[in-house]
Amino acid sequence: MSKPLEILLLDDEVIVGKRLKPALGKIGCAVEVFQDSALAIKRMQEKEFDIVVTDIYMDGVDGMQVLDLVRKKSPRTKIIMITGHAMISLAREAMEKGAFDFIAKPFKPDDLKAVIARAAKALGAPIQFDDKKVGG
């Protein structure tokens, strides 16, 4: 493993970041966790992340706006949307706007890991993750 994958995780649910940060750390990701989208956007202005994982419905700037911003600012960044309001229309809209993938809550840490592994592969920086138990 060379340089760790830089991931920004944005979800207004505190527990999501609290649990996923160590989980993703274990597969070689450097995770920055945010609950406030404004702060996350500010951070993204300073630093380019490899992957942005964002919730969709939040107070203030929501996930779709974050998606637009990131797409504009750094096209190579992969964006993974997570939401409890999993609706086909919403997923389609996100994918059309250029999201890398769309994960419906509730999900297992491994589900996200698998998507991140695919994203890393797409970025040309594959990570070690055995997603056999996830596939399908």
CB of 67 or CB of 77, closer to other proteins: 67
Residues in contact with other proteins, shown as a per-residue x/- string from 32 to 71 under the rule CB under 8 A: -------------------------x----x---------
47, 73, 97, 108: residue in contact with other proteins (rule CB under 8 A): 108
Minimum CB–partner distance for residue 87 and other proteins (Å): 8
Of 39 and 87, the one with the shorter C-beta distance to other proteins is: 87
Q: Is 124 left (phi over 0), alpha (psi -120 to 50) or beta?
A: left
2 CA to centre of own chain: 21
**110 counts as binding other proteins under rule CB under 8 A:** yes
Q: Is 111 exposed, middle or buried (0-12, 13-18, 19+ CB in 10 A)?
A: middle
Cis peptide leading into residue 75 (ω within 30°): no
In the structure encoding, which two tokens stand for residue 82, read together? 């997570």
Site stretch for other proteins (CB under 8 A), options 12-20, 41-49, 92-100, 115-123: 12-20
> 85-104: which residues touch other proteins (CB under 8 A)?
85-86, 104
Q: What is the CA radius of gyration of the chain?
A: 14
Q: How far is the CB of 30 from other proteins (least distance, A)?
A: 18
Tokens (6 digits) for 119: 């994203």
Inter-helix orientation angle 14-25/109-123, to 10°: 60
Where do contacts with other proteins occur on this chain (CB under 8 A)? 13, 15-16, 18-20, 22-23, 57, 62, 84-86, 104-110
